[in-house]
Amino acid sequence: MKIGSLLAFLTGVLCISSVTLTAQNTLDEVKVTASKYFTKQSQTGKSITVIPDSVILDNQGKNLSQLLSSQVGIQVLGYSQSPGSIKTIYTRGAAGGLTLILLDGVPVYDPSSIEGSFDINLIPLSSVERIEIIRGGQSSLYGSDAVAGLINIITKKSNSEKLKFNSGINLSSFPGLGLNAALSGKSSRFSYQITGNLDKSKGFSSAEVINGEKDKLFNSSVFLNTNYEMGKINFRLGGALSSYRNGLDASAFTDDKDFDAKQYNQSIKTGVDVDLKNTLIIFNYIYSYNRRNYIDDSTDIPENAFNYFSYAQYQTHSDIADVYFKRKFGRNLNLLFGADWRKQNTEQSYFSISSFGPFTDTPIDSDLANISNSSVYTDWNLILQNGFGLELGGRLNHHSIYKNKSSWSVNPFWQVNQNIKLFGTISSSFKNPSLYHLFSIYGSTDLKPEVSINRETGLRLNDKLNQKSFQIIAFERKVGNLFYFLNLNEFPYGKYVNIGRQVDRGLEVEAQISWSKMAISSNYTLLNGKQVDQGSFTEAAYNLQRRPRHQANFTYSFKPIEKWFFLGNIKLIGNRNDLYFDNTTFESKQIVLPGYAVINLRAQYQVNAKLKVFSEIRNLANKHYNEVYGYSSEPINVLAGIFFGN
C-alpha cells in the first residue's frame, strides 16, 4: 500500500472511532495567549495547539524540533538529521521564513539569514514551560513573518513559594550526553528561575556517505527569568546566553572532515505588566545579538568539493519593543490597542579558495544594512450570549525602506452547543524583505513585502472532560509578490525580484480518545501547492519542495500502573520533491524522495516523588530515509536518562 493511501486509511479509522461523543459536554478550558492576553481556548476561533509542561516533561531528552515535528500542519525539516543541522519550519506547506517565532510573546529573528528566521537550535526543550502554535495568518497582531502561523515558546518561570531544584541527565547511543538543571524560588515579592543546559554528541555524518566522519555537536545555554511584584505592577527582567558548534559536510553525498559551524546568541529582555480592574497594560522589550561563523579548513579537501577553503562570518543586532493596552467592557467585549518598534542590522563577509582561485564576496556593512519598522495595531474580541463570537484585527505598518503596509483579520466563531464549535478566518498577512534581500550584492531596495490572503474554516467536537475530540480544518493561502532569485548573464549574475503568486490549499485533521489508563491521538495534514500567474515562470504542477502532500502522526500512551508510563509514536511522511544541485555538472535535477514511516517507543518509571528514569528507542525499525536528498537521517538509536525534581 502506498504511503498516501496508508495515511488516509489509518487516519480515517481513528477519526471515526473518536467522534462518538457523550452528552452534556463543554469545550475545554485551556487558556491561551493567541490575542496577546490569556483567554479560554473555547472563546477564540483561531486554530491553536497547546503543548503543556506535562507533555514536555514526558519528552525529556528530545530537542524542540523533534517535538514540534509531530504537530498537525507543522513540518520541521532537519528534525532527524545530524545534531546541529539547520531546522526549517514549514507551517501548512508555506515556505521557510513564513512562520514567526515568539519567545515569551515577543518576536525573535536572525536578521543575518536569507529568510530572517530565528534558529530554534538555540532554545533547549529543558528551558521551555509551554508552547503555543497558532496556525493561519497572524500579521494583524504580530506583524511580519506571521504569514502561515506562529510558534510562541514560553520559557520556564517560578510559580512556587518554595525553593525548587530540578536536574536531568540523558545518554544516547550516538554516543551523546545531555545535562540540564533548573533552580527557582520566590521570596516575598521577588521570584526567579534559572535553567542551564548542555548537550554533547558525536552524532553521525551529515552527508549520505559510507563510513563518513561523525559530525559532532556541543550545545550550551543559560536562561534567566526574574519577577518583582509591587501591588498591581509586575516588573520582569531576564536574558539568555546560547551557543553551539557542530560539524558540517561539503555538500550532498560529500563528506568533509574539517568543516565546522559556530553560533552564539545573547539576549536581554525586560517588561512591565500593570493589571488593573478590567484593564491590562503590558510592555515588552528584547535586545539580541547573534554571531555565526563557518570555517572549512584546507587540511581535508573532499574529491567532489567545490571549495578548498572557506570562511564566512555573520553578525546581527536586533531591538524589539512592544506596548499594548487591553480593556474589558462587561462580560462580552475585549478591546486591545498596541504599538511596536523593531530595529535590525547585520554585518557579513565571505572568503573562499577554489580551483578558480580566491574569491571575496562583497561584504555587507551594518552602516548600510539596517532597517527600522514601526506599527500600530488593534484587536476587538466580542462574545455573545447565544454562542456567537467575532474577533477583528488590524495593523498599520511603516518600514524604513518600502514605507507602508497594512494587514487585517476577521475571525468569526459559533459555539453551537457544549459539544460543537464552528469557526473560520479570513485575513491578510505580510513578510518584510530580509536584510539579505535588501542589501546583499544580489539585493534590491525596490523589493516589496510578500503579501497573503488566508482563509480557513473548521469544525471542533469534544466531550465534557476533553477525553474525546475531533477537529477538521480546511485552509487556503495565496501569497503574492514572491521573493525570487532571478539569474542574470552579467555581474553579479543574479538579483532578488518580486514575481508571481503561490497558492497552497490543504486539510488538517486531529482526533484523540482517552480512557483511565491509555490514550490514542492522531493528526493528518493534506497539502497541495502551485505557483500561478507567473508568465514564463508558470508552474501548474505541485511545486512544494521537500514538503509532502500527506503527513500523519499517531501517538499511543499507556499507564498500566501508577509508576509506569509507556509512549509510542508513528510518523508517516509521503513522497516529496527535492532539487539536487550537482557540483560537477553545475545543473539542478528534480528528485522524488520516497515516503517513509518511523516508529519511536518510550518507557518511564517513577521511582519516587522526586526521581524518574526513562528510556526511548528512536527509529525502532532502523528505517533508512532522507529528509533532504544526499543527506542522512538518524538510524536506530537509544536514549536513556534520569530526572530529579521536587
CB within 8 A of 349, min separation 6: which ones? 312, 313, 361, 363, 364
| CA neighbor of 62 nearest in space, from 184, 234, 155, 201 | 201
For every residue of 172-212, DSSP letters joined together read: ETTTEEEEEEEEEEEETTEEEEEEEEEEEE----SB--TTP
Where is 408: in which H helix or E strand? strand 403-415
List the domain range (segments joined by +) for residue 457. Answer: 3-645
332 vs 570 pLDDT, higher one: 570
| CA neighbor of 442 nearest in space, from 489, 496, 388 | 496
For every residue of 227-249, DSSP letters joined together read: EEEETTEEEEEEEEEEEEEEEE-
Residue 386, classified by CB atoms within 10 Å of its CB into exposed (0-12), middle (13-18) or buried (19+), is exposed
Q: Report the DSSP beta bridge partners of residue 354.
A: 307, 357
Residue 79 pLDDT exceeds 90: yes
For residue 583, what pLDDT band results from cuts at 50, 70 and 90? low
Residue 12 pLDDT exceeds 50: no
Calculate mean pLDDT across residues 396-418.
94
For residue 540, what pLDDT band results from cuts at 50, 70 and 90? low
**How, if at all, do strands 149-155 and 164-172 pair?**
unpaired
For residue 348, what pLDDT band results from cuts at 50, 70 and 90? very high
Integer distance in angstroms from the first to the last C-alpha of the chain?
49
Evaluate whether 477 touches 94 at the Cβ level (below 8 Å): yes
What pLDDT, on a 0 to 100 scale, did the predictor assign at position 542?
Answer: 78
For residue 7, what pLDDT band results from cuts at 50, 70 and 90? very low
Where is 645: in which H helix or E strand? strand 637-645
For residue 537, what pLDDT band results from cuts at 50, 70 and 90? very low
| CA neighbor of 283 nearest in space, from 273, 275, 293 | 273
CA–CA dist 183, 157 (Å, integer): 10
Evaluate whether 309 touches 352 at the Cβ level (below 8 Å): yes
Evaluate whether 174 touches 202 at the Cβ level (below 8 Å): yes
Evaluate whether 493 touches 520 at the Cβ level (below 8 Å): no
pLDDT digits (tens, 9 = 90+) for 93-116: 999 999 999 999 999 999 989 999
Residue 445, classified by CB atoms within 10 Å of its CB into exposed (0-12), middle (13-18) or buried (19+), is exposed
| Alpha carbon separation from 166 to 179, 184, 331 (Å, rounded) | 11, 9, 40
Evaluate whether 540 touches 497 at the Cβ level (below 8 Å): no
The count of structural domains within the chain is: 1
What pLDDT, on a 0 to 100 scale, did the predictor assign at position 14?
Answer: 43
For residue 29, what pLDDT band results from cuts at 50, 70 and 90? low
For every residue of 110-124, DSSP letters joined together read: -TTSSS----GGGS-
Helix, strand, coil percentages (3-state) for the chain, rounded to 5, are 5, 60, 35
Predicted structure pTM score: 0.92
Where is 581: in which H helix or E strand? strand 576-582
Query: Residue 247's domain is classified under what CATH number?
Result: 2.40.170.20
**How, if at all, do strands 99-103 and 149-155 pair?**
parallel
Cell of 251: 555538500
| CA neighbor of 409 nearest in space, from 88, 150, 73, 53 | 150
